[in-house]
Amino acid sequence: MDDRSRARSAPRLFILQPASVVPIYRQLIDQVRRMVASGQLPPGTALPSVREMAAEYTVNPTTISKAYSLLEAEGLLQRNRGKPMTISARRRANGTVAQRLKQVQPHVEALVLAARQLDLREEDLAALIRKQMGEDT
């Protein structure tokens, strides 16, 4: 019981909102990806077990294991026998440029739609993207 209350009192890593339009497993995948990309979850970091996650966030355990499995397939998480899953050592961008561009496609579509509604010109939008990407590297 002691261990459990200690585990429960650990700060939360993620924000999972069951009522969101985004399925819970998607929310978890997106957050892990982002936190790995930004270095908040460095390689070797252990993630809570499926059971601990389900208890902490009061969500179905299969939802958590689905997210973990997909992240493992993506190469972001590493499964360790009898131990918690950890963030993989290799930081990598998976797939060809075309495949990775496909991943960003929905965001681009949303951005272009918003830009059209605001009557923005292509050059201005492109300049903004260039500036933003320059700042982040």
Partner 1 sequence: MTESVVSARHLGKTIQDRVILHDISLDLPPGNVVGVLGKNGAGKTTLLETLLGFSRPTTGSSALFGEDSFTLPAAIKRRIGFVPQQDELVSTLTGGQQLSLTAALHRRWNRPLIAGLCAAWEVPTARRIQALSPGERQKLSTLLALGHEPELLILDEPASSLDPIARRQFLQQILEIASAQTRTILFSTHIVSDLERVANRIWIVRDGTLAWQGDLDALKESVVRLNIHGRTALPEHLDIPDIVSCRADGARATVVVSGWDDSQARDITQRLDADVEVESLSLEDIFVELHR
Asked if 21 is part of the footprint of partner 1 (rule: CB under 8 A), the reply reads: yes
| Helix intervals (H) in 38-136 | 50-57, 61-73, 97-117, 122-136
Neighbours of 58 (CB within 10 A): 8
Q: Considering beta carbons, is residue 28 or 41 the nearer one to partner 1?
A: 28
Asked if 99 is part of the footprint of partner 1 (rule: CB under 8 A), the reply reads: no
* Cα(43)–Cα(11) distance, integer angstroms: 19
Q: What does the block give as tokens for 65?
A: 């294991």
Q: How far is the CB of 93 from partner 1 (least distance, A)?
A: 21
The residue from 24, 36, 47, 77 that contacts partner 1 (CB under 8 A) is 24
- Residues 45-64 within binding reach of partner 1 (CB under 8 A): 50-51, 54-55, 58-63
